Amino acid sequence: MQHVRLIAADPGLPTLLVGHANHAEGNAELRTFEYLDAVHRRRFGRSLDIDRAAYDQFIAIAKQMLDVMHLETAIVGPPDDLMGSTLPSNARALRSTRAVWLVVFGAILGFSIWRLLAKI
């Protein structure tokens, strides 16, 4: 199996995993813009910053190329579990706030148990 990657011309932009091709099994998979955007939102808490029309054009050309290679190519959207778990843009702040509260709660609980045991 080979991963299909979209490598940006600008060295500052990330390489995107956009699908895979399996010549041994005779199939391939390409991911829609929505799929990539959902993964990016989950991982970075913001939208994918690429031109959607250019990406859709790339997918059409890639599908034609894979079809010429006699690979049955599916274009897939994001799975339901991925769509339901996308994080808002302030996800890091929310996670940090929760972590602080957990530490504070743990410290208070630990101090309370220590005081209780000290009385026994």
Q: How many CB atoms lie within 10 A of CB 99?
A: 10
Give dist(CA 83, CA 38) in Å, integer. 6
pLDDT one-digit tens code per residue, 58-102: 999 999 999 999 999 999 999 887 765 444 545 555 555 666 655
Over the range 45-61, which residues count as b (16 or more CB within 10 Å of their CB) and which as e? beebebeeeebeebbee
pLDDT one-digit tens code per residue, 84-93: 544 454 555 5
**For the ranges 19-23, 44-48, 69-73, 91-95, which has the lowest average pLDDT?**
91-95
Predicted TM-score (pTM) above 0.85 = no
